[in-house]
Structure 1
Amino acid sequence: MIYMGTPRLRLRDWMETDLEPFRRLNADVEVMRYFPSVLSSEGTDVFYEAILSEFQECGYGFYAVEVKESNEFIGFIGFHRATFPSDFTPCIEIGWRLKKEAWGKGYATEGARACLKYGFSDLGFQDVYSFTAEVNQPSQNVMIKIGMSFVKRFNHPRVMDQSPLKPHVLYQINRQAAGGE
């Protein structure tokens, strides 16, 4: 099923053929530089199954993204139910991860805007959050471009204390700010 499209992208259900390029994506040191570690093939398989389960449980999740022109899988953009212990969870998170060959083309912004529109209009979301390591300026730039506002800094409870990735930033957008009713 295709959930939404943009001028250049399709955001769709996952297919078995996405699994191998998804493994390569999650094993790429550059792609994963703002995460505690790369994912092994087994770790990616667990993540893949969790994504599929979230779609079944919630009716949304991280959508597989492909470029319309080539039908090439480039990563994911979409929603996740964040439940780690924090004063803003549980919440709906918007996130993205694209292969490095897709960087710098505006795909994350384009896809995330479509997701927000879909989330507010079709899924009935009232608020959507995004967070990342404070050092991850590229993702923060996408958050700003899609209309999100900075909320605060926090230490992610699932990142080791000594890690430079522990300090995180939180952004938020609500239905009204996104142009919803």
Structure 2
Amino acid sequence: MIYFETPRLIFRDWKKQDLYEFQIMNRDPEVMKYYPALLSEEETKAFYNRIITEFTDYGYGLYAVEAKDDNSFIGIIGFHRATFEASFTPCIEIGWRLKYEAWGKGYATEGAKACLKYGFDKLGFNKVYSFTSNINIPSQNVMKKIGMVKVMEFEHPKVPEGNALRRHVLYSTN
């Protein structure tokens, strides 16, 4: 099923062959440099299963994103229900992770804008959050470009103490 499109992107259900590409992407040190660790094939499969479960349980999730020019899977952009312990959770988070080859083309901004529109217009969201490590300037730039504003900084409870990625920034749509 195709949920929505932008001029260059298709947001659709996951296809079986996407899992292989997703596994490769999650083992790429460049793609994962703002995450605590690379994901093994099994960890990616478990992540994929959580994504599918969120679609079943909530009617939204991290969409498989395809580039229209060559119909290739380029990554994920979409929503996740964040439930770790924090002052702003549980909440709906918007996030993205794209193959390195898709970086620098404006896909994250284009896709995240479309996701927010879909979330507010079709899914009835009234507030969406996004967060990342405070050293992840590229993702923070996307958050700003899609109209989000910085709310606060926090220590992410799922990132080990002493890890350079533990300090996070929180952005919100309003």
Whether 1:52 and 2:85 are equivalent positions in the alignment is: no
Between the aligned partners of 1:12 and 1:118, the Cα distance in structure 2 is 13
The unaligned stretches of length 5 or more in structure 2 are: none
Aligned residue number for residue 37 of structure 2: 37
Aligned residue number for residue 159 of structure 2: 159
**Equivalent residue runs for 1:87-166 within 5 Å:** 87-166=87-166
Between the aligned partners of 1:46 and 1:108, the Cα distance in structure 2 is 24
Instruction: Give the drift of 1:19.
Output: 0.7
- Give a deviation string over 1:58-97, Cα, whole Å, max 9, x none: 0000000000110000000000000000000000000000
- Give a deviation string over 1:96-127, Cα, whole Å, max 9, x none: 00001000000000000000000000000000
Aligned residue number for residue 15 of structure 2: 15
Between the aligned partners of 1:80 and 1:47, the Cα distance in structure 2 is 12
Number of residue equivalences: 174
Please, what is the CA RMSD of the aligned residues? 0.4
Aligned residue number for residue 63 of structure 1: 63
| TM score, norm. by length of structure 1 | 0.95
Q: Runs ≥4 in structure 1, deviation > 2 angstroms?
A: none
Instruction: Give the drift of 1:163.
Output: 0.0
SS in structure 1 at match of 2:173: strand
- Give a deviation string over 1:142-170, Cα, whole Å, max 9, x none: 00000000000000011000100000000
Amino acid at match of 1:88: F
Between the aligned partners of 2:163 and 2:34, the Cα distance in structure 1 is 11
